[in-house]
Amino acid sequence: MSNYIIPKITLVGAGPGDIELITLKGLNALKTADVVLFDALVNKELLEFTPKNAIKVYVGKRNHHHAYTQEQINTLIVDMAYTHGHVVRLKGGDSFVFGRGQEELNYANAFNIETSVVPGISSSISVPALAGIPVTHRGVSESFWVITGTTKDNQLSQDVILAAKTNATVVILMGLAKLKEIAEIFSKEGKADTAIALIQDGSLPTQKIALGTIETIEAIAYEKNIKAPAVIVIGEVVKQQSNFQEHLVNLNYL
């Protein structure tokens, strides 16, 4: 039997958190992995689907605490592929939605390593859906924006300013720490009464939802102790959530 190693890299989106929301193709990739490099938002239960002898390496980034820099991750992916074979790069949500997946593929392609992509279910649409909020709804919202709440310079994306001028649904990922700034931007556009939802741990048993308006959401988030990771959804579609009016009445905001 030959011990010749054929390097291969598969970029897999793990979905929003619930292990059943990974694709069948993603699951099959995990079952053939020699190495799995996984991120912070990946449900660790997915690692149980890998071969017993597979190497599992945590390379996540959370709250400015990085196990590895992006450059180190790029190098590790290639090194592991050459020394072990099939590397599955497992990322939360979809790898191409603020997941830096293309950066990793570009680096691997420079070494002529075989690469493939397995799309994942993005939290930007699945988390609102599971919370009862459609990102589009006929007669209410004809489009939606998906924006990162924090840029590489730890600043709020300027696209939020542009999005606040539209009638589109605005979904902000990784933006909870910028909630006050986001609310101020929408208020300046005359949208203090616009509905907003904060969804913590979307798709998981620990999921929490804070519903309110731009004007009231900071206080509501504090009362409900909403923590990251959380998806922010802004727009009239939030009112489609079955408990929207009840939440605001119970909190004396209506």
Tens digits of per-residue pLDDT, 150-182? 888 889 999 999 999 999 999 999 999 999 999
Number of separate domains in the chain: 2
Average pLDDT of 94-102? Answer: 96
Give me the torsion for CA of 185, 186, 187, 189, rounded to 10°: 100
Each residue of 204-241: pLDDT tens digit? 999 999 999 999 999 999 999 999 999 999 999 999 99
CB 99 within 8 A of CB 15: no
58 and 130 within one domain? no
Task: Kindly name the residue from 18, 34, 39, 94 that is annotated as catalytic.
Answer: 39
Q: How confident is the model at residue 109 (pLDDT cuts 50, 70, 90)?
A: very high
Q: Mean pLDDT of all residues in the chain?
A: 94
Q: Which of 14-28, 65-79, 109-123 has the lowest mean pLDDT?
A: 65-79
Pairing between β-strand 195-200 and β-strand 230-234 as defined by DSSP bridges: antiparallel
Q: What are phi and psi of 36, to 5 degrees?
A: -125, 125
CATH code: domain of residue 200: 3.30.950.10
pLDDT at 249: 60
Q: What is the pLDDT of residues 114-162, one digit of tens each?
A: 999 999 999 999 999 999 999 999 999 999 999 999 888 889 999 999 9
CATH number of the domain at 90, please. 3.40.1010.10
pLDDT given for residue 247 in this prediction: 66
174 tagged catalytic:
yes
**Which region among 19-23, 78-82, 107-111, 241-245 has the lowest average model confidence (pLDDT)?**
241-245
Residues 215 and 138 in one domain: yes
Task: Identify which has the larger pLDDT, 63 or 58.
Answer: 58
- What single-letter DSSP state applies at residue 137? B
Same domain, 141 and 189: yes
Residue 223 CB neighbours (<10 A): 12
Do residues 9 and 87 touch, judged by C-beta distance below 8 A? yes
39 catalytic per annotation = yes
User: From CA 6, how far away is CA 137, in angstroms rounded?
Assistant: 48
Using an 8 Å Cβ cutoff, are 83 and 5 in contact?
Answer: yes
Per-residue model confidence (pLDDT) at position 244: 84
**Is 79 one of the catalytic residues?**
no
Residues 165 and 108 in one domain: no
**Residue pLDDT, tens place only, 190-208:** 999 999 999 999 999 999 9
Contact 159, 93 (CB under 8 A): no
Q: Is residue 83 one of the residues assigned to a domain?
A: yes
Out of 56, 61, 208, 224, which one is annotated catalytic?
A: 61
Rounded to whole angstroms, how far apart are CA atoms 197 and 31?
Answer: 37
Predicted pLDDT of residue 1: 37
Q: Could you say which of 118, 133, 165 is where a domain stops?
A: 118
pLDDT number for residue 67:
79
Same domain? 69 vs 178: no
Check if the beta carbon of residue 102 is closer than 8 Å to that of residue 96. yes
Q: Residue 172 falls within a domain, yes or no? A: yes
Residue range of the domain that includes 50: 8-118
Region 97-123: what's the mean pLDDT?
97
Helices (H) and strands (E) in the chain, counts: 8, 12
Please indicate, yes or no, whether residues 144 and 240 belong to a single structural domain of this protein. Answer: yes
Q: Which of 174, 178, 191, 201 is catalytic?
A: 174
Q: Does 1 fall in a domain?
A: no
> Do residue 20 and residue 87 come from a single domain?
yes
